[in-house]
Structure 1
């Protein structure tokens, strides 16, 4: 998307300011880990001012250094959250820049046909004055004033400001590509649009709310993680507090030992607590949600994004998801005694007023064949009535839109009734076969051959006699097989549910490697499929754009609706794709998994860090009382004070070093759960164990070189 933003110097300064303001205990109490760090900082500060407090034996400089390092830990943690929020705010601001108040041409009479709209048929009003249900007229050069549905006409629309894609898109009445977004520009033709959103409720408004809400609302998994971290923190607080009294007990019979230093115990507590993941948790959440919006996906809640990362099964439609979705006429096949020209003529006439993509492509192919045949002196051109752009009144055939018989879900056919009483119908092969009284013997063999090659056959009948087949082809989306393979590698089962026939469905499924498929599926069967898979204890995701997809979208754990689809679908889904690309569900799964993988990897790293720091600090603090613990000092650090300070330096500095990773997310790879676990343990687990040892030893050597703590 074209709205990707970077943080400038002023915003960096604002992030630092916010980091300081967030020292307010009322803010930090929401993060128990950092709240305990702040309490420890306050105690260390008291020891700096009053070294004799708690009978502490260290110097003011030592305690002051501990105080500064603990405060730095909080500062860096606050900065990580503020930085992520400001990045999200920058993204929200860039989206607001796309919101432009524009004038709208509100129709006085909503029934006037779009081609007949004149200056007297509309009133010019401010876009903000529009109400849901108003009908507006938009023509070439106009900006669409509000989100809506095209109810008449078709137009080329520039949506680059919203989607970042430079190529214009076609939005037309009828079908599932009717939605338009406020702020986009009509490049050609004219349309009537019914406003579907009130002021402040457009999809841009919802995207802005999503980005801003990400800075406030915790997702369910994050709440669970916060509870876990709180439990671990409480456990360590109790353990370290117990050590203080254990030190007093040891002092009663160990000569020269006066007890454990409170500041050093605080350092041990902070080092043992999962401060790294506690500090970065909010940043991971905000950055993850921002990545979703930058893919032009509106997620109605963070729960949907996390659910996408946990999906077990993905239900995909064929048309528009696995294939390009533009089924176009490829050829005409005569049957029986019918001639080529008779099939082309009947197909052309039955599709004259068919506004679907298939209908338009049939007309275009017939006109192309007519023009080519006319140029070659052939018979087809002489038998087809002149195309509409030549014979504009269609008087030679006497047809009008009233003669058109629209498609019906009940009959699964459409067609036209000629003035002389001739009935022409086209539609699904089995539907036309049932309708007709005369069916050629080759109907099934020809239609099966087309289906076996991934095409869709439409039978054509004239006066209840089948005369031929129209071959439609829908190409596979480039790279779709690789993307499906990636999803399967992550352990997600893929299911294709399509209304196409068994042969076509099987061909497509074999080409892209779908796990299983269902053919000739209706909307009711889709929701039954979702429920069936969920009854197996699995999380289900699916896409859809039509009203008939709404029930299944609402039932699925992740329902991605298309912005160009119907309002019913968009209301039912918990995600909406502004690009209207059904295969985006595969990207959404990847984003969700990346979010969960990032959180898991940094949690693994943080806990491994804590284990390493345990072996650094515990021997240093207790060695005076229990000399046997010196064997645990694997780094052989110079002094206990050096060990404490070096560990706190690492504990503070590692947070800003990991901020870029938390914001960007770890590199996403399609792998199974076991492979990801193994990678996390090796890279982030082993790395989290080694990094503290290397870093702390380097700081200790630096202290030795500088003559500090000697």
Structure 2
């Protein structure tokens, strides 16, 4: 048999940050073209360049340039530290992309060209076209993205999710999608290829985690405009000092004015703005959610309504057996064994769930020698097994009763009550017969995924309204909605209904998130502000959404919302700190610069800085160092707490506003004492 040239056998390593790589990237980002999107840091670089030119000119003229050179070096350090913060944030994505790239394999696909004769042709994966049917056996790497059309297998998806524990993938339901680069551990599957050569999900994932397609979000753009406005205001303020200096007899060196300008503009948030946005996307990746848009991460922090597809999102997607109810007078083990025997040859998810349920209750059986499978057909609406003169069947209640020549009046009251109870709850009753006798009824139902109800309660506390959307009838929808704990539901919904509901919510000014996995969810995923597609879902759904949940867990929306809120809170906290920081620096430095010529300012010189030169240099050094000190906060993010907006604002003002006012006084004075002690000024 043909096999892949390599196989993945372990999880993708979580690479530590590469600080040397980030340092090199910080120097590469000194290219002014790389800073055009960040006017604050671009302005700082221009001032640093002019200061350097001034220092070189002073040295050429034979005059002392120590003070000017120190200012120039610290201004360059400010730019480098800001670039370093962004490079460190980007480095996480690059490290993950490198790890993913390392999992790429050279695969030879087993293309089935004649299924009847079992004829297989080896074909390199780069020649594999959509629609091709390939056989993937134990030990083989799945050559490209596709849908399982036959078989069931255990698959190692470590290349995508980073989790080494294998998962079950099978035809039908919400577990039929497979990803190129993952490995079949046991059994076999036939896969219909859905991706073009070189455009597998793994390829797109590598490009996205590298951040190549990241664009500034509206919030970032608005903040950049604010920072540009503040920069202009402080430029006017600094230029006005020229007149004040002339009036008071203080000769203000252009380099000093430039340094003062840089220390007063909001360089702190300017240097950390990109890092905060990139780190937000990286935090989603840590919880196995791939964000293709920074805009979506931000929107997740403000969503009001969450729409969830039922099948495959809230429920497992396949109806599963939850109980076998015996007819009166029979032991439960007898009915369970009959259901098991009728399902031994049933390869459908429902049939396998009956076998699993029997095993959980300690009832097991082997396939009898010479057994004959009775396949399900639309005509009989039954399936089962014949062996050693015995017959076991299961199927639609009316079909089994007709085969047994029974009518409802001949049924035990308890049996009829069980069938009615199952139907009212939205489940599907299957009658079970053994050797021509009715022995029980199987309860098939959509099983809600574990933990869903508790997580929806958490969303409710966060102010997010949850709505389940399903094509089921209202009775079934109501039962699942009650069990899962959603706030509302829409039954018998078509793709057009989903779109209309999203448009209606957005028309009321609400931000809408949509979770789905099917091709019929694709339009809604594309229209929603936040579209979360399940990784195991259809290719169309994954391409339509702006996020992909690699674990296919709808409760992951909790983490998505928290990360979005954390991103917004972090940016707000750092902006508050930066603006308060600039105001404090203004009142800390200006009195020290003019106190000699304007003694009346002495009462404002509360810091008692050694000299005007020391005041400027200390402020420039503090301005550079504070960026480095805040990098961990920008990457980690401010912890999100489910409190009201008023309390959150008060907390930010108290902690980061007051902190931004106090920190410059402490930092600049400390640096001033050190500079004076070592004789730098």
TM-score category by the smaller chain? 0.7 to 0.9
C-alpha change, 1:367 and 1:589, in structure 2 (3 Å) is closer
Query: Which position in structure 2 is the counterpart of 1:394?
Result: 372
Q: Is the 8 A contact 2:250 2:597 kept in 1?
A: no
| Offset of residue 52 of structure 1 | 12
Who is 1:285 aligned against?
277
8 Å contact kept, 1:289–1:302: yes
Residue 458 of structure 1 is aligned with which of 418, 428, 435?
428
Matched, 1:60 2:65: yes
Q: Contact 2:567–2:637 (CA<8 Å) still a contact in 1?
A: yes
Alignment-derived partner of residue 199 in structure 2 = 201
- Structure 1 residues 60, 342: CA separation in 2 closer, same or farther (over 3 Å shift)? closer
1:376 aligns with none
C-alpha contact 2:531 2:547 (8 A) present in aligned 1: yes
Does the aligned pair in 2 maintain the 1:604–1:685 contact within 8 Å? yes
TM-score (norm 2): 0.84
TM-superposed deviation, 1:695: 1.2
Query: 2: distance between equivalents of 1:489 and 1:368?
Result: 36
Q: 2: CA distance between counterparts of 1:658 and 1:38?
A: 20
Q: Confirm or deny: 8 A CA contact 1:415 1:426 kept in the other structure.
A: yes
- How far residue 125 of structure 1 moved from its aligned partner, in angstroms, is 2.0
Counterpart among 235, 260, 263 of residue 255 in structure 2: 263
Match of 2:42 in 1: 35
Partner of 2:143: 145
* Cα 1:370/1:596, change in 2 over 3 Å: closer
String of CA shifts for 1:652-689, please: whole Å, max 9, x gaps. 11111122222233334444433432332222222222
Contact 1:214/1:302 (8 A) holds in 2:
no
Which residues in structure 2 correspond to 1:134-173 (within 5 Å)? 134-173=132-171
Distance apart, 1:236 and its partner CA: 1.7
Q: Which residue of 2 aligns with 1:2?
A: 12
Decide whether aligned partners of structure 1 residues 613 and 87 sit closer, same or farther in structure 2, where only a CA change above 3 A counts. same
Residue range with higher mean Cα deviation, 291-300 or 515-524? 515-524
Q: Give the direction of change, closer, same or farther, for the CA distance of 1:415–1:303 in structure 2 (3 Å limit).
A: farther
The residue that corresponds to 2:221 in the other structure is: 223
Conserved? CA contact 2:477–2:489, under 8 Å: yes
Q: C-alpha distance in 1, partners of 2:83/2:508?
A: 43
Alpha-carbon shift at residue 610 of structure 1 (Å): 1.0
Query: In the alignment, is the contact (CA less than 8 A) between 1:285 and 1:595 conserved in 2?
Result: yes
Give the distance between the partners of 2:640 and 2:150, measured in 1 at CA.
44
1:405 paired with 2:405, answer no
Matched, 1:569 2:541: yes
Counterparts of 1:370 and 1:85 in 2: how far apart (Å)? 53
Cross-structure match for 1:703: 675
The CA deviation string for residues 502-535 of structure 1, in whole angstroms up to 9 with x for no partner, is 6776676667754444566565544333233222
- Whether 1:13 and 2:20 are equivalent positions in the alignment is yes
Rounded to whole Å, the distance in 1 between the matches of 2:261 and 2:463 is: 39
1:233 pairs with 2:231: yes
Pair 1:572–1:444, CA change in 2 (3 A): farther
| Structure 1 residue 443 displacement after superposition | 8.2
Q: Report the Cα distance in structure 2 between the residues aligned to 1:348 and 1:404, rounded to whole angstroms.
A: 19
Partner residue in 2 for 1:558:
530
1:487 counterpart = 2:434: no
Structure 1 CA distance for aligned equivalents of residues 234 and 362 of structure 2: 83
Deviation at 1:540, TM superposition (A): 0.8
- SS of 2:532's equivalent in the other structure is strand
How far apart, CA to CA, are the structure 1 residues paired with 2:546 and 2:165? Answer: 27
The whole-number CA distance in structure 2 between the counterparts of 1:497 and 1:629 is: 68
Query: Structure 1's 624 and 14: CA in aligned 2 closer, same or farther, altered over 3 A?
Result: same
Match of 2:105 among 94, 100, 103: 100
Q: Deviations over 1:549-597 (max 9, x none)?
A: 2332222221111121122322332222222222222222222222222
Question: Residues 351 and 415 of structure 1 are in contact (CA less than 8 Å); yes or no, is this contact kept in structure 2?
Answer: no
Q: Deviations over 1:395-418 (max 9, x none)?
A: 6xxx3x3x5229xxxxxx965699
The answer to which of 91-100 and 126-135 deviates more is 126-135
| 1:473-498 residue CA offsets vs partner (Å, 9 max, x unmatched) | 66665554554344334332333345
Counterparts of 2:200 and 2:680, CA distance in 1: 62
Aligned-residue RMSD, C-alpha: 4.0
**What's the counterpart of residue 375 of structure 1?**
none
Give unpaired runs (5+ residues) of structure 2. Answer: 1-10, 387-391
Aligned twin of 1:307: 299
Shift of 1:285: 2.5
Partners of 1:368 and 1:596 lie apart in 2 by 47
The residue that corresponds to 1:296 in the other structure is 288
State the SS of the aligned residue for 1:108. strand
Shift of 1:180: 0.8
Give the match for residue 71 of structure 1: 76
Question: Compared with structure 1, are the counterparts of its residues 342 and 569 closer, same or farther at alpha carbon in structure 2 (3 Å cutoff)?
Answer: farther
Aligned pair 1:632/2:604, yes or no?
yes
Q: Answer whether contact 1:448 1:503 (CA < 8 A) is retained.
A: no
Report the CA distance between 1:294 and its aligned residue. 3.8
Aligned to 2:525, the other structure's residue is in SS state helix
Three-state SS of the structure 2 residue aligned to 1:187 is strand
Larger deviation: 314-323 or 206-215? 314-323
1:638-661 superposed Cα distances (whole Å, 9 cap, x missing partner): 322222121111101111112222
Task: Trace 1:501-540 onto structure 2 (pairs within 5 A).
Answer: 514-518=486-490, 523-540=495-512
Q: Distance in 2 between matches of 1:604 and 1:327?
A: 52
Relative distance call for 1:368 and 1:285 in structure 2 (3 A) is closer
Name the CA shift for 1:488/1:59 in 2 (closer, same or farther; >3 Å). Answer: farther
225-234 or 188-197, larger mean C-alpha shift: 225-234
Q: Which residue of 2 aligns with 1:329?
A: 321
1:602-613 matches, within 5 Å, as: 602-613=574-585
With normalisation by structure 1, the TM-score equals: 0.81
Which residue of 1 is the match for residue 31 of structure 2? 24
How far residue 199 of structure 1 moved from its aligned partner, in angstroms, is 1.9
Deviation per CA, 1:248-281: give whole Å up to 9, x if none. Answer: 3x24xxxxx1444433322321122110111112
Q: Is the 8 A contact 2:44 2:262 kept in 1?
A: yes
